[in-house]
Amino acid sequence: MTDHSADDDPTVMVPAVQPAAPDAAAADEPTVMVPAVQPAAPDAAAADQTVALTNPRRGTRSGADQPPAPELAPGSTIGERYRLTALVGTDTHGNRFWRARDTVLPRDMAVTLLPDSSGTSATVARTLRAGRLRHIGLPQTLDLGSENGQTFVVGQWVDGATLTDLLAKGPLEPAVASAIAGRVSEAVAEAHRNGLALGSIHPSLVRVNVDGQARFSHVIAHATATPDDDIRAVGALLYLMLTGTWPASDQLAPLTDTSLPSAPQRGGRELLADVAVPGIPQALAQLTAGALHPEDPDGIHAVAALASLLQTPDPSASGGGSLRAPEQSEPEVPPPTMSPADRRLRKERRVKVSIASAFIAAFVALILIVAGTFARNTLVSINDQNQTQLDPLADRPSTSGAAPTTVANNGRPSTSGSSTSAPASSTPPSSSAPAAQQMTIVGAEVFDPEGTGKKDNVDFLDRLWDGDPQTEWETWVYKQQFRSKADGGYKVGVGVILQFDRPITPQSVEINSADTGMTVQIRTAVGFQLGAVDSTTLLATGGVAGGPVVIPVTGAPPSQYLLVFINQIPGAESTWRGRIGEIVVKGS
């Protein structure tokens, strides 16, 4: 996974304009002209200027001339170059955070759509200032503009797992949770040192890379946010990582992701972390409570102090002692011959060694997790390839078109046809049909009508048509095979709705997957919003046998959408998962 740092791509695509004349009637956050994105001067008064936002490609529009903002979906393009691929999340202020693809420079970008219609809000000006800060945890702002009354901010995309992904198997180890929260605190502290409060910190916007570094994928600096809001949010992230629950309260912004359970409460306040989950060090639980309630007399009043406490290990912490900042620890009495400068140097070296030890421990833990996952996936892939080579005559699912008997057999195709281990062995389309050409996929959405609303890995949907079969989209890991609820199952399946650049008539669908034992149905679709599976028409079905498989499609009506539905996934015991590396649709 690539981290686009500011040094790698220093280009800033923000037009330089002259500052507007000051307005005596302006509010506390006056409106100013947006300067080019350059390193901010240390002058706080100059940095707090606000600016009139112009679209470098479309010009400035007055509020009366702006048409209503269109409803955007994956595949939409804004700013004439950024194609939206996946919605990362939304916040309570109405901001929408997207992953997008730059169609001019082939790279992923982080796009934030603000609900402002004026384009001159204090939030936009503060966000631009945050985008100029030089900190590894804060993405750089590279472009901005206004289109159809919507202000958009474009920054670097950050790869990595979100906190929600890391919590899929339960709470994190206290050491790992402390390290991640410490890095988030450092990034927020950098914003606070420059007079900025963010006000939009939640799990979907924090990503942890394989190097152990936690970074924000999107940054918005709300004009109404306060430093205490950010301290509470960081405390909530730490509580979430330790307990797997969100400490909802009147002073903490609620999450739009309802899949995370709320923390248990007592007396109108969340339980201490070590009470909710036994085994958490008492000192860490108290520190988390202090961050969640900075208004308390013993609360955390500065996020920089929180960062220092989280990254200053104390041997007593594992046994229920207290976490102490470096300046509060009692210095060891040095030999009488040491000068004051030598004493100070010795103390600083011990603090640095302690911090480095904490970093290394967290880094090793994350590396072990990633290495274990990679090794398991590699062994499964090698086993599937060996099975294919040693048993080339084994019966495998056919890729023949769907028939009534196929549906009656729960989507499992007949094995009497030819092998589907390679696309060349599939039945070619009828000679009477027009010559098939590869169709252009411009977007996708997960189809999960029986799920809880938390759709399977929406951030990786664009891997289905990126031309690289080694990059995969995969389902969640399920505890049982897909089957109907009437048969005691959880759901009948999950699928992907593909969107094309124009209405097409599909003639074949090629599925490339390393899995063996997955059954795929090709169904009609009229858009991203579909009802139950039975509301769509089955066009074809086929089995995946560890490689590219071509499924012929006949009788499909012209449409700009097509549903690829997985109704059987490989697995065993309580681990079931389906993976697809590439989808190629041919038709006319």
Is residue 292 within 8 Å of residue 270, measured between CB atoms?
A: yes
Spans of all domains in the chain: 161-325, 341-390, 395-587
- Residue 61 CB neighbour total at 10 angstroms: 17
16: pLDDT confidence band, cut at 50, 70 and 90? very low
Q: What is the pLDDT of residue 307?
A: 87
Q: What is the pLDDT of residue 41?
A: 37
Is residue 541 pLDDT above 90, yes or no? Answer: yes
Q: What is the pLDDT of residue 398?
A: 39
Q: What is the pLDDT of residue 380?
A: 61
Q: Which one has a higher pLDDT value, 185 or 70?
A: 185
Express each pLDDT in 463-475 by its tens digit: 999 998 889 999 9
Which token pair is 346?
């010795």
Q: Which one has a higher pLDDT value, 334 or 468?
A: 468
| pLDDT, average across residues 527-539 | 90
235: pLDDT confidence band, cut at 50, 70 and 90? very high
Q: What is the pLDDT of residue 386?
A: 54
Helix 174-193 with 303-310: angle, nearest 10 deg: 150
Is residue 586 pLDDT above 90, yes or no? Answer: yes
Q: What is the pLDDT of residue 419?
A: 36
For residue 485, the 8-state DSSP code is G
Express each pLDDT in 447-464 by its tens digit: 998 888 788 988 889 999
Query: ∠ at Cα 84 (504, 505), nearest 5°?
Result: 5
Residue 255 CA to residue 30 CA, distance in Å, equals: 30
Express each pLDDT in 120-173 by its tens digit: 578 888 888 888 898 988 988 889 888 877 889 999 898 888 888 888 888 999
Question: Residue 44: in which H helix or E strand, if any?
Answer: helix 44-47
Question: Residue 507: in which H helix or E strand, if any?
Answer: strand 506-525
| pLDDT, average across residues 285-294 | 91
Q: Which one has a higher pLDDT value, 385 or 5?
A: 385
Query: ∠ at Cα 345 (341, 350), nearest 5°?
Result: 150
Q: What is the pLDDT of residue 427?
A: 45
Is residue 501 pLDDT above 70, yes or no? Answer: yes
Strands 141-147 and 150-156, sheet pairing: antiparallel
321: pLDDT confidence band, cut at 50, 70 and 90? very low
Is residue 13 pLDDT above 50, yes or no? Answer: no
User: Across the strands, what pairs with 584?
Assistant: 510
267 class by beta-carbon count within 10 Å (0-12 exposed, 13-18 middle, 19+ buried)? exposed
| pLDDT, average across residues 290-312 | 86
Q: What is the pLDDT of residue 111?
A: 94
435: pLDDT confidence band, cut at 50, 70 and 90? confident
Q: Which one has a higher pLDDT value, 68 or 348?
A: 348
Q: Which one has a higher pLDDT value, 330 or 445?
A: 445
Which token pair is 141?
């702002």
Q: What is the CATH number of domain 161-325?
A: 1.10.510.10
Residue 133 CA to residue 140 CA, distance in Å, equals: 7
Q: Which of 207, 189, 53, 214 is nearest to 130 (CA)?
A: 189
Q: Which one has a higher pLDDT value, 452 or 257?
A: 452
Q: How far apart are the first and last CA of the chain?
A: 36
Residue 256 CA to residue 259 CA, distance in Å, equals: 9
373: pLDDT confidence band, cut at 50, 70 and 90? confident
Residue 157 CA to residue 84 CA, distance in Å, equals: 13
Q: What is the pLDDT of residue 453?
A: 79
Is residue 21 pLDDT above 80, yes or no? Answer: no
Q: What is the pLDDT of residue 549?
A: 92
For residue 200, the 8-state DSSP code is -
Q: What is the pTM of this model?
A: 0.46
494: pLDDT confidence band, cut at 50, 70 and 90? very high
Q: What is the pLDDT of residue 376?
A: 73
Asked if the domains at 161-325 and 395-587 fall in one CATH topology, the answer is no
Q: Which one has a higher pLDDT value, 453 or 420?
A: 453
Least confident of 46-55, 309-318, 363-372: 46-55
Express each pLDDT in 260-278 by its tens digit: 888 888 888 889 999 989 9
Class of domain 395-587: mainly beta
310: pLDDT confidence band, cut at 50, 70 and 90? confident
Is residue 431 pLDDT above 50, yes or no? Answer: no
Q: What are phi and psi of 532, to 5 degrees?
A: -75, 165
Express each pLDDT in 121-130 by its tens digit: 788 888 888 8
Most confident option among 33-37, 52-56, 91-95, 164-168: 164-168
Is residue 575 pLDDT above 50, yes or no? Answer: yes
387: pLDDT confidence band, cut at 50, 70 and 90? low
